[in-house]
């Protein structure tokens, strides 16, 4: 049986609209390698690599997805709501580098996926002129489709159009954090389930030293987990979490995503990241369903017992 392909324009999903920035010049790849947290030193055309731009203290400024259009031509996907600020920060680091940043204002981004997560660009078939496909794992395992807005409009014929709840449900299933929900400014990537956006082997990058210290220590104090809710929240996200029966003012985390099926993701203190832990979000009961997702495994011999890899139910 062929798996159903679902797709959505990122601009139709809360906080997921992305600005596309083309990076050109002889130093383009080297420039990004020295700034971003992921290893983008050798681009594989047709691949999308999740990364972050960090402060010198190792905390997130922005999510960044690097699209390998060619071996020497990276494009960037930036959260549209902060794209001008992030582009300006990148531009400020261009000193003697042969690098130019070109926002592609007429471009949009869509994502296609299947429930199993197994989808390749080839399975999408021919794409409209100017539209490109990139295999990746963020914000879901699947394919990012980028191109001029008119070309993406024709993707309505690509499988089933998905809504925000279906997108969130897939994220919960695969243990994927999202910008504006789990991934937020002033957090360490491992705190929000985004450790696969960090390379610990490539050498120096902005914010590398604090993350290396975390990696050597083998833990962060907060982690992402999968949860089950007793009912739908009446207020918007995020919602503070407390331990069942404890002082309501003693917040130990936040509920960050949920679906109509009462499944969700949360950021909690590590001590509470154990399946079966009972928490509260206001009047709601929240049950932790997983160990930490997307956590930093630490160096050999320092792994945390609760640590699991990103994606898939455990």
Residues 85 and 227 reside in one and the same domain: no
Residues 44 and 161 reside in one and the same domain: yes
Residues 231 and 127 reside in one and the same domain: no
Q: Does residue 108 form part of some domain?
A: yes
228 vs 294: CA distance, rounded Å: 18
pLDDT tops 90 at residue 114: yes
pLDDT tops 60 at residue 201: yes
Task: Provide the pLDDT for residue 308.
Answer: 35
Last residue of a domain, one of 174, 202, 230: 174
Q: What is the mean pLDDT of the chain?
A: 91
Residues 149 and 53 reside in one and the same domain: yes
Residue with the two structure tokens 């504006």: 180
Could you list the residue range(s) of the whole structural domain that residue 286 is in?
221-294
pLDDT tops 80 at residue 156: no
pLDDT tens-digit readout, 216-259: 876 789 999 999 999 999 888 999 999 977 776 689 999 999 99
Here the tokens at position 149 are 């807005």
Q: Does residue 183 form part of some domain?
A: no
Residues 159 and 236 reside in one and the same domain: no
Residues whose CB is less than 8 angstroms from the CB of residue 308 and which lie 6 or more positions away in sequence, other chains included = 290, 291, 292, 293, 295, 314
Task: Provide the pLDDT for residue 226.
Answer: 98
Handedness of CA 93, 96, 98, 104 (dihedral sign): positive
Q: Does residue 311 form part of some domain?
A: no
The pLDDT confidence band at residue 99, using thresholds 50, 70 and 90, is very high
Q: Does residue 193 form part of some domain?
A: no
Q: Does residue 36 form part of some domain?
A: yes
Q: Does residue 195 form part of some domain?
A: no
According to DSSP, residue 139 is labeled: S
213 vs 302: CA distance, rounded Å: 12
CATH (domain of 88)? 3.30.1360.120
pLDDT tops 80 at residue 198: yes
Here the tokens at position 57 are 């203290």
Q: Does residue 194 form part of some domain?
A: no
């Amino acid at each position: 049986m062929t798996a159903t392909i679902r797709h959505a324009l990122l601009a139709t999903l809360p906080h997921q609209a992305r600005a596309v920035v083309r990076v050109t010049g002889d130093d383009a790849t080297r420039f990004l390698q020295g700034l971003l947290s992921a290893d983008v030193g050798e681009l594989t055309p047709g691949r999308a690599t999740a990364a972050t731009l960090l402060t010198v203290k190792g905390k997130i400024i922005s999510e960044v997805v690097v699209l390998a259009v060619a071996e020497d031509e990276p494009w960037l996907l930036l959260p549209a709501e902060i794209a001008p600020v992030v582009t300006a920060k990148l531009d400020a680091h261009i000193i003697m580098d042969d690098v130019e940043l070109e926002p592609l204002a007429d471009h949009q981004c869509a994502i296609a996926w299947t429930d199993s997560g197994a989808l390749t660009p080839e399975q999408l078939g021919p794409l409209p002129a100017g539209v490109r496909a990139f295999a990746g794992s963020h914000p879901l395992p699947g394919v990012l489709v980028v191109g001029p807005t008119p070309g993406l409009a024709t993707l309505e014929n690509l499988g089933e159009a998905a809504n925000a709840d279906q997108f969130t449900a897939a994220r919960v299933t695969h243990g994927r954090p999202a910008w504006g929900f789990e991934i937020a400014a002033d957090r360490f990537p491992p705190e929000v389930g985004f450790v696969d956006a960090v390379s610990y082997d490539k050498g120096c990058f902005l914010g590398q030293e604090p993350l290396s210290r975390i990696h050597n220590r083998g833990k962060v104090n907060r982690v992402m987990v999968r949860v089950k809710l007793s009912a739908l929240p009446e207020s918007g996200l995020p919602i503070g979490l407390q331990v069942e029966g404890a002082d309501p003012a003693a917040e130990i985390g936040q509920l960050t995503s949920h679906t109509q099926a009462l499944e969700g993701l949360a950021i909690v203190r590590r001590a509470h990241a154990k399946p079966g832990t009972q928490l509260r979000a206001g009047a709601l009961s929240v049950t932790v369903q997983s160990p930490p997702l997307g956590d930093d495994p630490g160096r050999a011999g320092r792994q945390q017992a609760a640590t699991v890899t990103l994606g898939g139910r455990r």
